[in-house]
Amino acid sequence: MVERNPFVTVIVTGVPGVGKTTVLTHVASILDGEGTAYVLANFGDYMLKVAKELGLVSHRDEIRKLPLRKQLELQEAAARLIREDALSKLGSDGVLLVDTHTVVKTVTGFWPGLPRGVVLELKPDAIVLVEAAPEVIVSRQERDKTRDRRDIGSVEKVAELMQMARIAAMASATLVSSSVFPVENIEGNPRAAAEKIVELVKMLR
C-alpha cells in the first residue's frame, strides 16, 4: 500500500551551490503571506539534534567524524523525528518541506541522501530537484565566501553530481510512489523557482 502523511510532504533537494536555501526562504515567505501552515525542516539540523540528544557530539562538525554506520543510524533517526515533529505541528492542510540532498558526495563516494529507510519514514509526495546550469553553480560556489564549502570543483564534476542526484531521486521515488519535480533556479530570480514549488504543493493537496 502507498502510505502517505496526513499533510503534504515535499522534499527539496539540490547540489551545493545551486541556491536551494535561498529558494526555500522564498517558499517560506510565500506560505507565510498566504497563511498556510508549514514546517521547514533542515535535515542536517535534525541530524545534529538527534546526535546531541544521544550524547554523541556537541558540535555539527563532529558528525562527519563519527563512524559511518553511526551516521547512517542518525540519518534514519533524523527522518523519524522530522516526521514526528510535523505530525504534532501540522493538520491535514499543512505542508512539510524537508531541506536535504538526494545524494551526498564525500571522500568515500556518493551516498544516497534518501535511502530506503529514510524515504519510507518521510513518505514524500514529491522530491524536488532544484537545478541550474553546472557553469552557473560553479561560479556561485566560487563567489560563496560565507560558507566553508569543500569545493565540488569543475563543471564536469558538478554535472556528474547532478546526474547522480537525478538517478538517486528516481530510485528513491520508485520506493514510495512519489514524483520527481525538477525546477530551475534561474540566476537572479530565486522567487520564480519558489513560486513553482508553492504551485506544486497546492496541486499535491
Q: Which residue matches cell numbers 562527519?
A: 64
Q: Residue 60: which region, alpha, beta or left (left: phi > 0; alpha: psi -120 to 50)?
A: alpha
- Nearer to its own copies (CB atom), residue 68 or residue 142: 68
154 binds its own copies (CB under 8 A): no
**How far, CA to CA in Å, does 154 sit from each of 10, 103, 108, 136, 166?**
30, 18, 19, 11, 19
Q: How far is the CB of 134 from its own copies (least distance, A)?
A: 15
Q: Which of residues 114-143 bind its own copies (CB under 8 A)?
A: 114-117, 125-126
Q: Report CA Rg, the chain.
A: 16
Among 68, 84, 154, 187, indicate the residue that binds its own copies (CB under 8 A).
68
**Which of the 8 DSSP states describes residue 56?**
S
Count of other CB atoms within 10 angstroms of residue 198: 21
Among 40, 167, 186, 192, indicate the residue that binds its own copies (CB under 8 A).
167
11 binds its own copies (CB under 8 A): no
152 binds its own copies (CB under 8 A): no
1 binds its own copies (CB under 8 A): yes
Q: Which stretch binds its own copies (CB under 8 A): 21-29, 81-89, 131-139, 169-177?
A: 169-177
Q: How far is the CB of 108 from its own copies (least distance, A)?
A: 5
* Residues 124/49, Cβ–Cβ less than 8 Å: no
Number of alpha carbons in the 13 Å side-chain half-sphere of residue 95: 27
Q: How far apart are CA 106 and CA 64, in angstroms?
A: 10
87 binds its own copies (CB under 8 A): no
Q: How far is the CB of 145 from its own copies (least distance, A)?
A: 29
Interacting residues with its own copies (CB under 8 A): 1-2, 4, 68-69, 72-73, 75-76, 103, 106-112, 114-117, 125-126, 164, 166-168, 170-177, 179-182, 200, 203-204
